Amino acid sequence: MPQPRPAHLPFWWTDIHRSPSVNLRLGLCLCFIAGAANAGGFLAIGQYTSHVTGLVSSIADHLVLGHVTLMLASLAALLAFVGGAMTTSLMVNWSRRRHLRSAYARPLLLEAALLLVFGLFGATLQAWPWAQASLFTPLTVLLLCYLMGLQNAVITKISHAEIRTTHVTGLVTDIGIELGKLIYPNRSPIPGRVRVNRTKLRIHLLLVAAFLLGGLVGALGFKHWGYATTLPLAAMLTLLVSGPLLHDLRHGRWAPPAQTDWQASELLRPDPPRPVDGLPAHKPGK
């Protein structure tokens, strides 16, 4: 059994060995990245890509108004978000089955690569405004929605749905609930008195602050440096995933095993009983 690495090292925060404190640190980093990508994406294409509630509402609105093209565009963005979450689930479960330490790191490495694709694609098409309007904007919406689904599913699986990083609606709701408990007047020390969960309140405040800070950095970066802002975001993700990935590479566990799951099941299947001389062979079901 591999031993957990020091949790204070950022490049081991995506290891399979988890703790609540490491989950929070990783969640804060991913909230920052999601906020930056969301704000930068808005300046690039004029649309937020992590707001799935808005996508579902726009599908209904465009359908009622008869805007079929816009309805299909919103539906495609929604499906891209779902596809990102599905990709994370497939990658994590595939890696777990092979006992890889990079189970949570691989989806984030894919996110880093796609962020670079977004930046390179956008910077290249700046010279052709017609292509940017007709080609870049629709593809960017799908790409960023896919990234948000990919990332949100990672931290959801890591923290057992306790932390979300690409949207703050649920976080702000929980903050309001805990603040209501905080100011509730407990007039007598009865066993059922209302108590605020200060730890939960602090965690959610930190996550919202990280998302806001990421949004500020992403908006300022995109305003002054354009698509080059994706470089530090991708570098940050690469740093977070480097420990488990390098561990699996050093131990030769990056590639899938030589045998597929079907082949392994065939090898593990017991041999059929051999007929004894003079006796008929046994037939199943008889």
Residue 191 lies in a domain: no
Residue 150 lies in a domain: yes
Q: What is the pLDDT of residues 154-204, one digit of tens each?
A: 998 888 877 888 778 889 999 999 999 999 887 766 677 788 999 999 999
Q: Give the highest mean pLDDT range of 16-20, 86-90, 141-145.
A: 86-90
User: Which of 102-106, 136-140, 208-212 is predicted least confidently?
Assistant: 136-140
Q: Domain containing 107: what range? A: 13-124+136-166+212-255
Residue 79 lies in a domain: yes
Residue 267 lies in a domain: no
- Structural domain tally of the chain? 1
Residue 60 lies in a domain: yes
Residue 193 lies in a domain: no
- Distances in Å between the alpha carbon of 50 and those of 2, 65, 281? 36, 24, 63
Residue 77 lies in a domain: yes
pTM of this structure: 0.81
Cα angle for residues 7, 10, 16 (degrees, 5° grid): 60
Give the span between the Cα atoms of 240 and 60, in whole angstroms: 39
Residue 21 lies in a domain: yes
Give the span between the Cα atoms of 223 and 44, in whole angstroms: 9
